């Protein structure tokens, strides 16, 4: 087994775990016709969440009750800017669906 690859995957996994704990948890999935991002943001409300898109990136910003800002950025393998994007937020779970075309 290639130790360099193993070390890189361990470091990447550690970074993702760190961001899940310090910012908020994000999971991204790909289906045949869409991408789905699920974000666990129990401290936020619908009014304190902002979504932004720039080329292949989805940026999610949320504020908690003390007005502290938390951010996560998700990279997608294809350009999502200009795609049909919908979102729902319920019980602390934000779901963002991006139609591929």
Question: Which domains are present in the chain?
Answer: 3-99 (2.60.40.790)
Q: Show the tokens assigned to 30.
A: 């790909």
Judged on CB neighbours under 10 Å (0-12, 13-18, 19+), 37 is buried
How far apart are the C-alpha atoms of 49 and 69, rounded to whole Å? 10
pLDDT tens readout for residues 6-60: 444 444 445 456 555 667 889 999 999 999 999 999 999 999 999 999 999 999 9
DSSP of 37-68: EEEE-TT--GGGEEEEEETTEEEEEEE-TT--
pLDDT value, residue 8: 40
Question: Is the pLDDT score of 3 beyond 60?
Answer: no
Bridge partners of residue 62, in order along the sequence: 49, 70
């Amino acid at each position: 087994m290639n130790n360099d690859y193993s070390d890189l995957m361990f470091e990447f996994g550690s970074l993702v775990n760190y961001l899940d704990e310090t910012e908020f948890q994000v999971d991204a999935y790909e289906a045949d016709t869409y991408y789905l991002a699920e974000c666990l943001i129990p401290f936020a409300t619908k009014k304190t969440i902002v979504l932004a898109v720039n080329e292949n990136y989805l940026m999610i910003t949320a504020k908690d009750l003390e007005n502290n800002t938390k951010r996560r950025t998700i990279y997608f393998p294809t350009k999502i800017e200009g795609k049909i994007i919908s979102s729902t937020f319920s019980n602390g779970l934000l779901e963002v669906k991006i139609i591929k075309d």
